Amino acid sequence: MVKIYDLIIIGGGSAGFNAARVAHDLGKRVAIVDGSRPLGGLCILRGCMPSKTLLYMADVLHLAQKGGTFGLKIPSATADMKAIHERKKKIIADFADYREKQLSSNKWDLYRSQAKFVNDHTLELDNGKQLSAEHILIATGSRIATPPIPGLAETPFWTSDDVLDLDFIPKSVIVLGGGFVACELAQFLRRIGSRVILIQRSPHILRDHSPEAGAVVQQAFRDEGIELYTDTKLEKIMGNEKGVSVRFASSGKMITKRARHLFNALGREPDTTGLNLAAAGVKISPTGRVATNRFQQTNIPHIYAAGDVSGPYDIVHLAIAQGELAARHAFGVKGIKPVDNSLILNVVFTDPQLATIGPLEKQLREKGTAYLSASYPFNDHGKSILMDANYGYVKVLAEPKRGRILGAEIVGKDAGELIHCFSGPLAMRATVFDLLRAPWYHPTLAEIITYPLEEIADQIKKR
Ligand SMILES: Cc1cc2nc3c(=O)[nH]c(=O)nc-3n(C[C@H](O)[C@H](O)[C@H](O)COP(=O)(O)OP(=O)(O)OC[C@H]3O[C@@H](n4cnc5c(N)ncnc54)[C@H](O)[C@@H]3O)c2cc1C
């Protein structure tokens, strides 16, 4: 017998779980189908939480290693990878257990299976059982991409899953890619003591960010001894279990680098494999994402998609907001608005961290939006100087007439925390003058923000 629901959600990660919570609160009959073991989704099991556990450890280690800067005698600070691995496993197991309990609650039915479409209202599980629903949400996330680079598929390589699960210090690693996962984990590897060679195709790492911000992180990486090659073209990858070699073109020269391990951090792709979307008539965009409108509806109006599978960014708070929005829209909640992509926060947890909110300067220029900008460096700010945290700057972008804040970019110590000084004000459409009325405690890292705010306020007053 086919079981009938108001909403079936494929995937119990950040998007799926939060959609289920909202739909249940609206009094709907909900089912979640997820085939992974253990349950928990990417963020908890192999994404944000394990990576940030390791990166925080690497920050502590780095501070201990540079104790001399602060007049401290710390004879030796090294990474005990077995202990680090155990700690990470325990933290993640606790988070995953908690999420598994939430997913297994009696608020909805949970099916531990893969799901595929039979038609636009019906799904089939691994055991042949069929489930039907008025609405279906695709929240299947993303998977590691292996681009067609000569030799890559034939060469043994690590993915982020493997790096996050290391219980030893690798002697040397070649990192392919310069996105946030590549950069965060390259620095982690370097800080625990590996030789790290990072090869990036674009002219600067973190290419989704400004060249100026990328250049700061690049400098910090080089200062820590990461061998960094940008603007490259990969020619050939070769290797076996004993070691790998990567040949690439850089600045008109052919270079070959060898290392014990290869880390493929060339990106992820939306996971639509096995869903049989054609049976439901759901369309894919040219980028491979499930195409949706601003309310997360696909071209089949009762089928929704949210999270990494629909994009446009692989970010947890976006996945959550999209999942919640899809559930509210499906059940006709009044007064809901699409997710406001101009408020998207983005944090890269390198050291220095890189964080942005709102559009980048380049995007404002492309759109022809008038703006004022001002920035201030951390190496001229009291609190960061005493912390020996001198890399980077804070930049503020504001609308020229009233000074409404449009966006901000912070590269520096704790940028991921500091950027939240702007998230409330941006959501409330505050101006630089509003923020300057707020108190800023001295001496804090946060008070650096007042300098670009004041500069923009002066620019407006002089106009
Ligand atoms: C190393 C790393 C670090 C990251 N760090 C951060 C960070 O610091 N901050 C941040 O915001 N984001 C970070 N991200 C990105 C973030 O993890 C993702 O954006 C987010 O977890 C996506 O959630 P989701 O619900 O879309 O997908 P997922 O959490 O991946 O959930 C998808 C679920 O669908 C299930 N599934 C797939 N296909 C089927 C099927 N056919 N049938 C049934 N079930 C299926 C899967 O088993 C999975 O449980 C990181 C990612 C990585 C890889």
In short, whether 307's Cβ falls inside 6 Å of ligand 1 is yes
What is the Å distance from ligand 1's center to 311 Cα?
11
What is the Å distance from ligand 1's center to 378 Cα?
34
- Tell me what pLDDT residue 257 has: 97
In short, whether 179's Cβ falls inside 6 Å of ligand 1 is no
In short, whether 11's Cβ falls inside 6 Å of ligand 1 is yes
Q: Which atom of ligand 1 is nearest to the CA of 14?
A: 25
In order of 14, 34, 40, 41, 314, the CA distances from 141 in angstroms are 9, 11, 12, 8, 9
* Predicted confidence (pLDDT) at residue 370 exceeds the cutoff of 80: yes
pLDDT band at 84 (very low <50, low <70, confident <90, very high): very high
- Residue 286 gets which letter from DSSP? T
pLDDT band at 240 (very low <50, low <70, confident <90, very high): confident
pLDDT band at 3 (very low <50, low <70, confident <90, very high): confident
Specify the residue with its C-alpha closest to ligand 1, atom 35. 11
* Residue 82 CB-density burial (10 A; 0-12 exposed, 13-18 middle, 19+ buried): exposed
In order of 27, 64, 130, 290, the CA distances from 272 in angstroms are 29, 44, 19, 8
* Predicted confidence (pLDDT) at residue 366 exceeds the cutoff of 80: yes
In short, whether 14's Cβ falls inside 6 Å of ligand 1 is yes
307: left (phi over 0), alpha (psi -120 to 50) or beta: left
- Tell me what pLDDT residue 130 has: 96
Give CA–CA dist 22/255, Å, rounded.
53
Q: Which atom of ligand 1 is nearest to the CA of 34?
A: 44
How far does the chain reach from its first CA to its final CA, in angstroms?
72
Specify the residue with its C-alpha closest to ligand 1, atom 12. 315
Specify the residue with its C-alpha closest to ligand 1, atom 7. 48
User: Which stretch of DSSP H or E encloses residue 55?
Assistant: helix 48-65
Closest to 15 in 3D by CA, of 321, 448, 347: 321
Structure-model confidence comparison of residues 3 and 85, the more confident one: 85
What is the Å distance from ligand 1's center to 140 Cα?
8
* Predicted confidence (pLDDT) at residue 332 exceeds the cutoff of 70: yes
In short, whether 34's Cβ falls inside 6 Å of ligand 1 is yes
191 contacts: CB under 8 Å, gap ≥ 6: 58, 61, 62, 79, 224
* Predicted confidence (pLDDT) at residue 451 exceeds the cutoff of 70: yes
pLDDT above 70 covers a percentage of the chain that reads 100
Q: Which atom of ligand 1 is nearest to the CA of 306?
A: 26
H helices present in 266-395, as ranges: 277-280, 316-330, 361-367, 382-386
pLDDT above 90 covers a percentage of the chain that reads 97
Chain segment 270-319, per-residue pLDDT in tens: 999 999 999 999 999 999 999 999 999 999 999 999 999 999 999 999 99
In short, whether 140's Cβ falls inside 6 Å of ligand 1 is yes
Chain segment 51-72, per-residue pLDDT in tens: 999 999 999 999 999 999 999 9
* Predicted confidence (pLDDT) at residue 249 exceeds the cutoff of 70: yes
In short, whether 38's Cβ falls inside 6 Å of ligand 1 is no
- Tell me what pLDDT residue 463 has: 83
In short, whether 319's Cβ falls inside 6 Å of ligand 1 is yes
Give CA–CA dist 411/448, Å, rounded.
12
Average pLDDT, the chain: 97
Give CA–CA dist 377/354, Å, rounded.
14
Q: Which atom of ligand 1 is nearest to the CA of 15?
A: 25
* Predicted confidence (pLDDT) at residue 456 exceeds the cutoff of 70: yes
- Tell me what pLDDT residue 1 has: 62
pTM greater than 0.95: yes
* Predicted confidence (pLDDT) at residue 110 exceeds the cutoff of 70: yes
| Residue to mutate (ligand 1; options 39, 113, 137, 140; most atoms within 8 A of CB) | 140
Chain segment 273-284, per-residue pLDDT in tens: 999 999 999 999
- Tell me what pLDDT residue 251 has: 87
Chain segment 194-205, per-residue pLDDT in tens: 999 999 999 999
H helices present in 303-381, as ranges: 316-330, 361-367
| Residue to mutate (ligand 1; options 9, 18, 48, 318; most atoms within 8 A of CB) | 48
Chain segment 166-192, per-residue pLDDT in tens: 999 999 999 999 999 999 999 999 999
* Predicted confidence (pLDDT) at residue 348 exceeds the cutoff of 70: yes
